Amino acid sequence: MRFFSFHLMPYPDLPADYDGPAWVTCPNEFYDPQVGHDVYNRYLDELIYAEEVGFDGVCVNEHHQNAYGNMPSPNLIASILARQTSRVRIAVVGNALPLYDPPTRVAEEFAMIDVISGGRLIAGMVVGGGPEYYSFSINPADARERFQEAHDLILKAWTEPGPFEFIGKHFRIRYVNPWPRPMQQPHPEIWIPGAGSLETVEFVARNHYAYMGIPYFHLSVFERMFRMFREACEAEGYEADPLQQGWLVPIYVAETDEQARREYEDHLWYFVKRLLPGITIQPPGYTSVRSLGNILKSSGSFMLNLETWEQVVDGQYAIVGSPETVTDMLIDNLGRLGTGNLLGLFQLGTLPHDLTKKNLALFAEQVMPKLRAEFPEGQPVIRPSAAGQVA
Amino acid sequence: MPALAEEYVETDVGKVQIFRGGDGPPLVYLHSAAGEAVNPAAETLADSFSVVSPVFPGFGESEGLEQIDDMEDATFHHLDLFDRLGLDAVPIVGLSFGGWMAAELATRYPERVSKLVLVNPVGLYIDGQSVKEIFGRTPAELAEDMFADQSHPMAQMMHMLSEFSGDVGQQIEVPMELVLPIWKSMSATAKLGWDPYLHNPKLRRRLHRVTAPTLVIHGAQDTLAPKVISETYAAEIPEARLVDVDGGAHLVTLEKPDEIAQLVREFVA
């Protein structure tokens, strides 16, 4: 099992009387640069701290024009981490390829991070969330095509000698010849986040990449998602490696179950009720007919619809409790999902710095070793007995 | 009311669904982003015309959207379809998105359009006034802009669709037969109208090339397409005329079919 600390870099200070969406149209007059200065630096400290306490990697990601996650350029944050950490993998999960024109920009910046960090980059590539298509006015009906073409171009730029000419439908570059080239050869490990769209699952399986389940769903949705992924790998003629699968989930560890809920609950609700609204906006033409049914099926169990703490616990939307409780829940859930990468959100919503650090330290000291022992690398994570096979 | 019958036509982009019926000279109806190829105005007009109402690729059962990227492709598709249907110079009635497509055809191939009726057309961006957002809003919100009278059956259906939300942790049963046509229509509209948003920046300066006598109809209660768009079409197309229809919002051919049909009959006759 590999352990990653994922940070969204949320804006913690939306006005109390604002109840609109946190995405696309959330007025940017609410953004106070002084608050931004404080939290950027604080959040970077939290990512660096994850290395100190023993995590295997850190994760950052890309979102635009929103209060949920203030990393319009995750590559900027990753490049700081490349210098300020020395051991952890740096997973950028990911760059929204259709938004980069030309996409060789991604090949260049990822290679820079990989070279500066000494080969520690994990290159995430993503179609991009619905809100980004409203924020960029990139045609969502072209999203999949642009993603595919950009991906092909980036991989070719990394693996074939330049200069060469690339003539696609959406991108045309006469001279592809990026400097620098990535340090990891033939190219950095590639992660693709997905929310259960069949096209994405099949694409990841076909290319032997790793599939990262987009979070905030009921555990049953992830069970279905990763089962689908393993089946797609089987259809490609191989057995999925646990390291090809990653589950992202909010985690909070405190001394006791009661203390954990007491310290955490308000911050979780800020996240659910203030930062999630607007994230589900669906741009037209972005989803295939094949995937529409799956996505509609999952939408009812999205975290945004939660009202009570009992629902959070029932659906395992966040793993909260004492070290023992969190360990037990994670052993059970990871056994159901079969994922060899655990991506924890250890800071969520308004969770303050001291509690975030305590959370990271307790998890690293008291949970991580037990999970490493339970799920040794190179061995299957899936536990057929746990994985609701009956249903 | 004579019914329009469903047919399929092979075109360069694939098999296309059309609705056809009635007696008299030919008349083409081009539907809006709502995909209303069959609608009471087109059906009523079948008492005076041989109405052809094609379903644009990506809408309904029509194939070929993957081969259409922009208005130029859309125009060539219409040329191809008209050739296959033996339509030479034909009167065209287009609602909203369909009005835009009719205007694109009439500027590029004016000889193929004998009369042009633009009903709440989009396609222009005038004085900083965009068409109100149609993407990413709930069906109920859209219904408010599309209908003057919220008791219209289609408005009622759109309000009903907005009621669906699942219980947490449950796999909800979504009425796919209701969602899918809307989802397909919006996807196809986005292909041509996402960016630039429901307009072609070059269209305005080409409007002087339209040779067909032109009638622009504006639903007086339309809150979706700014009236300045209709006014600009009427001002820039030689000798075009603008009329208001009271009691109709954006989908005025659904709300005021008899009034629209009468205006078209008088104008095209």
Task: Give per-residue pLDDT as tens, B204-226.
Answer: 999 999 999 999 999 999 999 99
Q: Which residues of B45-61 are buried (b: 16+ CB within 10 A; e: fewer)?
A: bbebbbbbbbbbbbbbe
Cβ(B116)–Cβ(B50) below 8 Å: no
Greatest CA span in chain B, whole angstroms?
61
Distance from CA of A229 to the nearest CA of B (A): 19
Name every chain B residue with its beta carbon within 8 A of the beta carbon of A312.
Answer: none
* Res B172: pLDDT: 54
- As to burial, measured by CB atoms within 10 angstroms (0-12 exposed, 13-18 middle, 19+ buried), residue B233 is buried
Residue whose C-alpha is closest to residue A197's, from A285, A294, A286? A294
Structural domain includes residue A390: no
Q: Does A301 contact B at CB distance below 8 Å?
A: yes
Cβ(A153)–Cβ(A88) below 8 Å: no
**Token digits of residue A128:** 């991009």
The ipTM is 0.90
Q: What average pLDDT does the segment A61-76 reach?
A: 97
Structural domain includes residue A181: yes
Mark which residues 126-155 of A lie under 8 Å from B by CB. Answer: 130, 133-134, 137-142
* Res A386: pLDDT: 61
* pLDDT band (50, 70, 90) for residue B162: confident
Say how many domains are in chain A: 1
Structural domain includes residue A329: yes
**Hey, what domains does chain B have and what are their CATH numbers?**
5-268 (3.40.50.1820)
Whether the pLDDT of residue A187 is over 50: the answer is: yes
Q: Answer yes or no: pTM beyond 0.90.
A: yes
Structural domain includes residue A7: yes
Q: Does A20 contact B at CB distance below 8 Å?
A: no
* CATH code (residue A131): 3.20.20.30
Element (H, E) at A264: helix A257-270
Structural domain includes residue A147: yes
Name every chain A residue with its beta carbon within 8 A of the beta carbon of B186.
Answer: 284-285
* Res B169: pLDDT: 45
Task: Inspect the interface and report whether the beta carbons of A300 and B194 lie closer than 8 Å.
Answer: no
- Summarised one tens digit per residue, pLDDT across range A315-328 is 999 999 999 999 99
Task: Inspect the interface and report whether the beta carbons of A138 and B167 lie closer than 8 Å.
Answer: no
- Summarised one tens digit per residue, pLDDT across range A75-126 is 999 999 999 999 999 999 999 999 999 999 999 999 999 999 999 999 999 9
Task: Inspect the interface and report whether the beta carbons of A283 and B136 lie closer than 8 Å.
Answer: yes
Whether the pLDDT of residue A391 is over 90: the answer is: no
Structural domain includes residue A381: no
Q: What average pLDDT does the segment A231-257 reach?
A: 98
Task: Inspect the interface and report whether the beta carbons of A305 and B166 lie closer than 8 Å.
Answer: yes
Structural domain includes residue A382: no
Whether the pLDDT of residue A389 is over 80: the answer is: no
* pLDDT band (50, 70, 90) for residue B166: very low
Residues ≥6 apart with Cβ < 8 Å to A346: A5, A6, A46, A50, A251, A252, A356, A359, A360, A363
Structural domain includes residue A380: no
Share of chain A above pLDDT 70, in %: 98
Residue A1: DSSP 8-state:
-
Element (H, E) at B5: strand B5-11
Cβ(A32)–Cβ(A11) below 8 Å: no
Domain that holds residue A177: 2-374
